[in-house]
């Protein structure tokens, strides 16, 4: 009779110890962020705190996985909450300055009643709206790139006077909101055992990347990540054995498919990366091998009709949510003028490149090929022009300022053309990955995870907070698939660029040593060798 109270005291003692450890590391980071610019040595101090968080994460997660650290979900959540509150309330945005742009976009909507897509922060017309944080906005000459649902959140937070702390706390709430979806994915529709529920929760909430990017930097990706995870979780198939065959039974409710599409649409309206999940969900709903491969509750024609309806519901839900969130900004109803975020987004797509892996290698090869093209007679490097596509480029926002006028960017230098070609090849590679996964009857949550990982591996810009998208989907999978979580720790190395004086070595470690092994293990786990029959309503 004395065992249970002793175990309870031991669990609360471990909770207190871990909570103090995570809180101490967070407090160190918070203090370090106020010690000056990164180049002045404060980045090294921050990296020391990050190293402590990584060590705590690895040690405590190992203890939970081995059963040596038995904490309830509530205790795990309390440990996770401590560092988040310290960083959200007490730190200065040190690793990223995106949150100032969020606040500015919300400010111009609430204080100025202006469409955030109309003018860049540096526009002279916005001088009367300048705030004490205006000078901290990054790339103030570029119009905002954040989609409509994000703008609604920015306006709500700033309208309620939330400011920096309020913005961060919204993101922290978004993290905890993902828990239910992760449990649902991990259980495949069944109730999770307490130890497994605790492990999944710890792997998600104690992750240092999640702690830093959402509570300290306040990145809105957490809202897109959470809604995407919930969208996938709504249609996660339930696995069960039937006559010795592993069956994958999809949800029978039409509302599940409509809701999945709506949530993925909301995710894309927070951050466009969320749109990656639309094709896997919609196509998986009616894919011939999965749906039409056998007789399912009636004639094959009836099964095809039900499958087509599921795919249509996903697509309609996505489109309806995206349109509803965009309406205040693309029509003049609210602000008296319409706007478009394609200008800022096209600038980002054409010019941004950071922490890229496969893309950097492919771009180098393409540039070397184009370098073999002879120079022009005047000695200048050649340019490739696509004047016939001028109207198309203008429609999608591929423009630049010339003598005070917006003109289509129809001319490409060698580097620009190489980047465009590589991006096209990346898109084709992703399409092939999607077809392969669906052909192998891989279930939708695993398809989305592999698609996200493949996109990030080949993308021109891979900020650390982009990798956080993988964590909820990865921790819900088998232990081998969780190897992708290693990337969320490796990507933190990029923040040490100021300390080591460059990023080449850091990227070699990130992409060339551990990540290939992690990706290989995850791929083996995700492409299930055991045949899965698909049973559909």
Q: Tell me the pLDDT tens digit for each residue of 377-394.
A: 554 555 556 666 666 665
Q: What is the mean pLDDT of residues 203-212?
A: 97
> Which residues, in sequence order, are CB contacts of 508 under 8 Å at separation 6+?
none
Q: Is 91 helix (H, G, I), strand (E, B) or coil?
A: coil
Q: What is the mean pLDDT of residues 324-338?
A: 83
Distance of CA 392 to the CA centre of its chain: 29
pLDDT given for residue 306 in this prediction: 77
* pLDDT at residue 404 tops 60: no
Q: Tell me the pLDDT tens digit for each residue of 129-183.
A: 999 999 999 889 888 999 999 999 999 999 999 999 999 999 999 999 999 999 9
Containing 249, the helix (H) or strand (E) segment is strand 245-249
Q: Is 461 helix (H, G, I), strand (E, B) or coil?
A: strand
pLDDT given for residue 392 in this prediction: 67
Other residues' Cβ atoms within 10 Å of the Cβ of residue 410: 18
Terminus-to-terminus CA distance in the chain, angstroms?
Answer: 50
Q: Tell me the pLDDT tens digit for each residue of 352-374.
A: 778 887 777 777 776 676 666 66
pLDDT given for residue 9 in this prediction: 79
Is the CB of residue 227 less than 8 Å from the CB of residue 281? Answer: no
* pLDDT at residue 536 tops 50: no
Q: Provide the residue ranges of all domains of the chain, joining segments of one domain with +.
A: 3-96+161-327+442-535, 98-160, 342-422
Q: What is the sign, positive or negative, of the torsion defined by CA atoms of 83, 86, 87, 88?
A: positive
Look at 48-57, 76-85, 317-326, 423-432 and tell me which has the smallest mean pLDDT: 423-432
pLDDT given for residue 346 in this prediction: 66
pTM attached to this predicted model = 0.86
pLDDT given for residue 371 in this prediction: 66
Q: What is the mean pLDDT of residues 338-344?
A: 70
Q: In this structure, are strands 532-535 and 245-249 parallel, antiparallel, or unpaired? A: parallel
Other residues' Cβ atoms within 10 Å of the Cβ of residue 465: 25
pLDDT given for residue 207 in this prediction: 97
Look at 176-180, 412-416, 529-533 and tell me which has the smallest mean pLDDT: 529-533
| Nearest 10 degrees: Cα torsion 23, 28, 34, 35 | 180
- The mean pLDDT value of the chain amounts to 81
pLDDT given for residue 412 in this prediction: 59
Q: Tell me the pLDDT tens digit for each residue of 502-512.
A: 667 777 778 87
Q: How far apart are CA 73 and CA 472, in angstroms?
A: 16
Distance of CA 49 to the CA centre of its chain: 24
pLDDT given for residue 29 in this prediction: 95
């Amino acid at each position: 009779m004395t065992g249970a109270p002793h175990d309870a005291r031991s669990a609360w003692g471990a909770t207190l110890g871990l909570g103090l450890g995570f809180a101490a590391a967070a407090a160190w980071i918070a203090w370090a962020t106020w010690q000056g610019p990164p180049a002045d040595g404060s980045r090294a101090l921050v990296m020391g705190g990050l190293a402590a968080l990584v060590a705590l994460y690895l040690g405590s997660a190992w203890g939970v996985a081995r059963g040596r650290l038995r904490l309830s979900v509530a205790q795990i959540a309390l440990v996770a909450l401590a560092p988040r509150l310290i960083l959200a309330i007490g730190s200065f945005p040190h690793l990223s300055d995106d949150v100032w742009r969020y606040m500015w976009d919300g400010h111009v909507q609430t204080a100025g009643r202006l469409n955030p897509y109309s003018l860049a922060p540096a526009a002279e017309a916005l001088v009367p709206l300048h705030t004490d944080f205006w000078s901290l906005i990054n790339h103030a000459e570029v119009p905002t790139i954040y989609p409509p649902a994000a703008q609604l959140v920015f306006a709500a937070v700033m309208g309620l006077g939330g400011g920096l702390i309020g913005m961060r706390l919204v993101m922290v709430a978004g993290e905890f909101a993902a828990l239910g979806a992760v449990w649902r994915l991990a259980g495949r529709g069944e109730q999770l055992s307490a130890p497994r529920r605790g492990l999944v929760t710890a792997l998600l909430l104690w992750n240092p990347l999640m702690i830093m990017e959402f509570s300290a930097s306040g990145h809105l990706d957490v809202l897109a990540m959470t809604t995407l995870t919930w969208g996938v979780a709504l249609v996660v198939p339930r696995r069960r054995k039937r006559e010795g065959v592993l069956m994958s039974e999809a949800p029978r409710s039409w509302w599940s498919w409509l809701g999945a599409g709506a949530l993925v649409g909301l995710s894309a309206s927070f951050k466009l990366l969320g749109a990656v999940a639309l094709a896997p969900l919609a196509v998986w709903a009616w894919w011939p091998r999965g749906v039409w491969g056998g007789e399912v509750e009636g004639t094959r024609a009836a099964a095809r009709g039900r499958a087509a309806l599921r795919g249509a519901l996903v697509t309609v839900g996505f489109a309806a949510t995206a349109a509803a969130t965009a309406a205040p900004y693309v029509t003049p109803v609210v602000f008296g003028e319409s706007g478009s975020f394609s200008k800022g987004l096209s600038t980002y797509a054409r010019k941004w490149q950071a922490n890229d892996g496969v893309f950097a290698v492919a771009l180098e090869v393409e540039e070397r090929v184009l370098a073999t093209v002879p120079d022009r007679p005047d000695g200048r490097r050649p340019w490739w022009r696509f004047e016939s596509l001028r109207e198309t480029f203008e429609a999608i926002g591929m423009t630049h300022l010339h003598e005070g006028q917006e003109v289509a960017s129809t001319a490409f230098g060698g580097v620009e053309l190489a980047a465009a070609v590589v991006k096209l090849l990346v898109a084709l590679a992703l399409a092939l990955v999607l077809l392969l996964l669906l052909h192998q009857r891989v279930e939708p949550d695993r398809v989305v995870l592999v698609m996200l990982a493949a996109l990030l591996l080949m993308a021109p810009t891979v900020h650390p907070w982009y990798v956080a998208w993988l964590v909820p989907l990865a921790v819900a999978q088998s232990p081998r698939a969780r190897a992708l979580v290693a990337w969320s720790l490796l990507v933190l190395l990029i923040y040490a660029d100021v300390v080591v004086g460059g990023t080449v070595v850091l990227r070699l470690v990130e992409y060339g040593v551990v990540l290939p092994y992690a990706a290989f293990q995850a791929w083996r786990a995700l492409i299930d060798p055991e045949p899965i029959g698909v049973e559909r309503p």
